[in-house]
Amino acid sequence: MDYLEGLNPEQKGAVLQTKGPVMIIAGAGSGKTRVITYRVAHLIKQGVDSFNILVLTFTNKAAREMRDRITQVVGPEAKNLWMGTFHSVFAKLLRVEAAKIGYPSNFTIYDTDDSKSVLRAILKEMNLDDKLYNANFVYNRISAAKNNLVGPAEYSSNEQIQADDFSQGRGHLGKVYETYAARCYRAGAMDFDDLLYKTNELLKDHPETLYKYQNKFKYLMVDEYQDTNFSQYLIVKKLAAINENICVVGDDAQSIYAFRGANIQNILNFEKDYPDLKIFKLEQNYRSTQNIVNVANSIIANNKEQLKKNVFSQKESGDKIKVMRAFSDNEEGKMVAEGIWADQTGRGLKWNDFAILYRTNAQSRSMEEALRKLNIPYKIYGGLSFYQRKEIKDLIAYFRLTFNPNDEEALKRVINYPRRGIGDTTVDRIILSADQNGITPFEVVINPSRYLDGRSSTAVGNFGTMIQSFQVITKTLSAYDAALHIAQHSGLLKDLYEDKSVEGLNRYENIQELLNGIKEFSEREDIEEKGLDVFMQDVALLTNDDNDKNKDADTVSLMTIHSSKGLEFKQVNVVGLEENLFPSQMSLNSRSDLEEERRLFYVAVTRAESKLTISYATSRFKFGTLISCEPSRFLDEIDAQYLELDFTAKPAPTANPFFDDDRKAWSRNTDSFSKPKPAAVKTTSILAKAHVPSEGFAPSDTSKLQVGMEVEHERFGYGKVQVLEGYKPDVKATIFFKEIGQKQLLLKFAKLRIVED
């Protein structure tokens, strides 16, 4: 029981409570990974068969880390756990049960690019307007349908969905969905969403299979439960129905993936599904200083939908949170870069102790330029991953086609790469012949004389023979030897080697790196199945955290806040805290959207261990035009006692209302290396508003607002209504305010007081 030492009382209680439904509400930095791993280890120590434990995560990194820790406690038994991401675990289950839903066990897993390629071909065949039927839009629409368990037939027969599509001029979406599903089925392929959709289908239509896995998985644990969608929720609920030994771990305050289908109600309403639920709250933050935790608490307290908890830290108070105001986005970048430089040298830190977090990828430009000017090494996360590079996808397509010759996308990708005299016209004829004869394109390829004519028949036949030879050798060679054979005999390796350009050399080296990765995979001792087909599945199911091949490089990390979830850094800069940027303009239509933006800000703040800096600009270029920016409402929600305001940037013109009138409180010296440390400004609001609301200010009923009326806004001051447009409840008012000029506001959110005569 040594593993229980060092746990605080709440952590220990969660580990020891192994029976019945359990919810662990884990605040940021509260040691949830330790609790999950020790809870699994404790189950095994208490005699539970490791084969009967299912642990679901959202990243492979989390699963690996947990398995390693469990191994340290229980030894090799940890290998027997069903542990991994939702997609990897249920892909493994579907490999066993695929025949029951009409799929081969060697089905291909399409990534997003593959799916969109199939959709583009379908949209072209149906001659649909690409402005209305953009492949990205259609893919997202189908993905959302699958995550809500709406299949092609249900989609086409649902009157509400059809009415919505027709109103947007997209009445053919149902047919596109049906064709896409049929095309994937013919190719023996599932996309990412299918791995969950088809699992639900399997468990619903085959009760004997459901019963089998309900009895197999006697204990379930789900990490990051707040990020589950409806499809994931239903799978977990079905599997836990008999034993109800289910433990979910999560933090509603970090639910930030609604755009992917995550439903925060899954964790908020968990107790309704299991009335005898036992709840443990992990409230001690071991990561951040007290000031950072206090700021995070003051932010999230503004959300109405939440599970109440009192997160605290027993670490030192630490630096106050610095809030920097810049005149422009470029100046913001300069201030951030100079601050990082000063702290890196002055505090003896490494570059990889720093992170810059932003709401949108476009914000990285000004940060990159500023970092380059100071020769600060940096890396942007979320760019093109290793496995998305063309040369890597080309070789992997050969692997895919070898194991699943029905994979039409893989066939089209490599049939003429390297060039072998098979043009687009021939490929189109192959696809057409397959459709006309009710067979797969590969059957045409291996019988070219029956379906094709002309010189291309020989080239197509030779290609088919080559793929068949690959199918034979993969049955006898190791994963690495098979991969090397395919790379060499396909001509791909030779083609890249002969390209002596810098880009060609990089592509060749990338292929070598892929082969090295397969070699390492072949020599791993923690897995039993080491075939190339198993490696292929691992690659197809990689999550974003697995794609970076140089995680430990000493560079400043630049990334979106969404990408930062689960990470931590000694010092964090959160930039661009401006209205319509953060919170995003798209989030201002509903309370639920705004609360998700606030949770996103909470996630950003809680990535910091010892120092947090927040910044905003009062002007920013947008579509080539310099616009004035209003500081984010989120800044107003932070308790000012934890803040230090650094308003040392050059003041804007006096007409700009977002700067204090008391200019004496500022330093005009923008050289951060020589300026004295600014004294904390005493204020109850970070925005230092130019307008003080009238005594007893209260918003009026604006349903009778008319053009010409005078109004008061608690932040913008007094103004006159110029234009009213739109229909209830989305009426927009254009108002000219005396202090800041013209603004356009949605009345339902504007909080205006009508000034009576």
Q: Is the pLDDT score of 13 beyond 90?
A: yes
Q: Is the pLDDT score of 623 beyond 60?
A: no
Structure confidence at residue 723 as a pLDDT band (50, 70, 90): confident
Left (φ > 0), alpha (ψ -120 to 50) or beta: where does 92 sit? alpha
Where is the binding site for ATP, in residues? 26-33
Q: How far apart are the first and last CA of the chain?
A: 76
pLDDT for residue 681: 33
Q: What percent of the chain has pLDDT over 70?
A: 91
pLDDT single digits (tens) 268-292: 999 999 999 999 999 999 999 999 9
Identify the active-site residue in 224, 332, 533, 546: 224
pLDDT for residue 587: 83
State residue 569 phi and psi, 5-degree precision: -140, 150
Nearest-angstrom CA–CA distance, 722 and 717: 15
Nearest alpha-carbon partner for 519 in 474, 476, 488, 481: 481
Active site residue 32: yes
Structure confidence at residue 551 as a pLDDT band (50, 70, 90): low
Nearest-angstrom CA–CA distance, 317 and 321: 11
Active site residue 308: no
* CATH T-level topology, domain 687-756: SH3 type barrels. (2.30.30)
Identify the active-site residue in 146, 320, 607, 715: 607
pLDDT for residue 660: 38
Q: Is the pLDDT score of 647 beyond 80?
A: no
Structure confidence at residue 537 as a pLDDT band (50, 70, 90): confident
Nearest-angstrom CA–CA distance, 301 and 580: 21
Question: Which one-letter DSSP state was computed for residue 260?
Answer: G
Higher pLDDT, 346 or 749: 346
pLDDT for residue 16: 93
Which residues have CB under 8 Å from 646's CB, separation 6+?
322, 323, 324, 325, 678
pLDDT for residue 667: 29
Structure confidence at residue 513 as a pLDDT band (50, 70, 90): confident
Residue 737 Cα to chain centre, angstroms: 40
Q: Enter the tokens of residue 348.
A: 């003896």
pLDDT for residue 5: 83
pLDDT for residue 443: 94
Q: Is the pLDDT score of 689 beyond 70?
A: no
Q: Enter the tokens of residue 366.
A: 């000004």
Distances (CA, A) of 10 to 3, 246, 316, 484, 515: 15, 18, 22, 52, 46
Q: E strands within 251-353?
A: 278-282, 321-326
Q: Is the pLDDT score of 655 beyond 80?
A: no
**For 386-542, CATH number?**
1.10.486.10
44-51 contacts: CB < 8 A, separation 24 or more? 44/70, 44/74, 44/77, 44/78, 45/1, 45/73, 45/74, 46/18, 48/18, 48/218, 48/219, 49/80, 50/74, 50/77, 50/78, 50/79, 50/80, 50/81, 51/80, 51/81, 51/82, 51/216
pLDDT for residue 190: 95
- Exposed/middle/buried for 163, CB within 10 Å: 0-12, 13-18, 19+? exposed
Q: Which residue has the tokens 């060749």?
A: 508
pLDDT for residue 538: 78
pLDDT for residue 685: 43
Which residues have CB under 8 Å from 318's CB, separation 6+?
288, 289, 290, 291, 292, 610, 611
Structure confidence at residue 622 as a pLDDT band (50, 70, 90): low
Average pLDDT over residues 311-333: 90
Average pLDDT over residues 48-77: 90
Torsion angle (degrees, nearest 10) of CA 588, 592, 597, 599:
160
Domain boundaries, given as residue ranges, for the chain = 9-100+196-282, 108-187, 312-384+550-645, 386-542, 687-756
Q: Which CATH number fits domain 108-187: 1.10.10, 3.40.630, 1.10.150, 2.60.120?
A: 1.10.10
pLDDT for residue 683: 34
Identify the active-site residue in 97, 193, 194, 223: 223
pLDDT single digits (tens) 697-711: 888 988 888 888 999
Structure confidence at residue 293 as a pLDDT band (50, 70, 90): very high
Active site residue 650: no
Question: Which one-letter DSSP state was computed for residue 312?
Answer: B
Q: Enter the tokens of residue 504.
A: 């060609």
pLDDT for residue 181: 96
**For 312-384+550-645, CATH number?**
3.40.50.300
Q: Is the pLDDT score of 134 beyond 60?
A: yes
Whether the CB-CB separation of 319 and 535 falls below 8 Å is answered with: no
Which residues have CB under 8 Å from 326's CB, separation 6+?
332, 334, 335, 615, 616, 617, 618, 649
According to DSSP, the residues that pair with 735 across neighbouring strands are: 721, 743
Mean pLDDT taken over the chain: 86
pLDDT for residue 369: 85
pLDDT for residue 561: 94
* Number of neighbours of residue 405 by Cβ within 10 angstroms: 24
Q: Which of 164-168, 351-355, 536-540 has the lowest mean pLDDT?
A: 536-540
Q: Enter the tokens of residue 552.
A: 């430990």
Identify the active-site residue in 37, 85, 254, 606: 254
Active site residue 223: yes
Question: Which one-letter DSSP state was computed for residue 474?
Answer: T
Torsion angle (degrees, nearest 10) of CA 305, 308, 314, 319:
30
Radius of gyration of the chain (CA): 29
Q: Is the pLDDT score of 727 beyond 80?
A: no
Q: Is the pLDDT score of 423 beyond 50?
A: yes
Q: Is the pLDDT score of 675 beyond 50?
A: no
pLDDT for residue 543: 59
Higher pLDDT, 649 or 303: 303
Average pLDDT over residues 120-134: 89
Nearest alpha-carbon partner for 688 in 652, 743, 647: 647
Structure confidence at residue 107 as a pLDDT band (50, 70, 90): very high
CATH architecture, domain defined by 9-100+196-282: 3-Layer(aba) Sandwich (3.40)
pLDDT for residue 669: 29
Active site residue 715: no
Q: Which of 101-115, 548-562, 632-646 has the lowest mean pLDDT?
A: 548-562
Whether the CB-CB separation of 569 and 557 falls below 8 Å is answered with: yes
Structure confidence at residue 385 as a pLDDT band (50, 70, 90): low
Identify the active-site residue in 12, 17, 18, 33: 33
Most confident of the following: 268-282, 377-391, 447-461, 690-704? 268-282
Nearest alpha-carbon partner for 534 in 543, 549, 548, 524: 524
Nearest-angstrom CA–CA distance, 722 and 123: 45
Q: Is the pLDDT score of 430 beyond 80?
A: yes
Q: Is the pLDDT score of 337 beyond 90?
A: yes
Fold match between 108-187 and 312-384+550-645?
A: no
Average pLDDT over residues 549-570: 85
Nearest-angstrom CA–CA distance, 153 and 306: 37
Active site residue 108: no
Q: Is the pLDDT score of 659 beyond 50?
A: no
Identify the active-site residue in 10, 11, 32, 57: 32
Q: Enter the tokens of residue 66.
A: 């947990």
